[in-house]
Structure 1
């Protein structure tokens, strides 16, 4: 069993236990208090569902090219320097964060510090 599937299983168990606990609690305290508490819980869950995705860091799409904290590169005499992402086909998802300096010296030299797709 992978780590991800264990986390999902643990989440499902916690959810089921929470749901069972709420049902038992609502049955014990009566419908009036249960209704008030359920309304409050509903508002909190709605707010978390609405704002939660905006508070979490964005992750790159799966299968995306990713470069982070690359070094410096220099191209001379018509060469090519790249510290980011270079692709040969159609543009796909790619992320470059804090790439290094790319420097081109001489005629026909090319430097790139970001994303370059050649289609």
Structure 2
């Protein structure tokens, strides 16, 4: 492709080749400057590291309307949380809540 482009520039002459190359350069520069504003943002490309990490948590069992948590429990959704290799969660009875993962509170 490059050889063909060089051959084309030799055939059309240096003056016209210079103008074409300048035009191509301006178009590429404009695309490079405008690209970040025209393309959709990347998701999870540069995601910050989670602020809360739980690893190897045990089992959580809640009975009779109780609550059990061996994971991460926090308010809001602005901070990152990650749970790896969590245990089993078991809730037995009305109103019981067992969590070994991430639980966001309102």
Higher-Rg member (1/2) = 2
The structure where strand makes up a greater share of residues is: 2
TM-score, normalised to structure 1, is 0.44
TM-score, normalised to structure 2, is 0.49
Higher relative contact order (CA 8 A, sep 6+): 2
The structure where helix makes up a greater share of residues is: 1
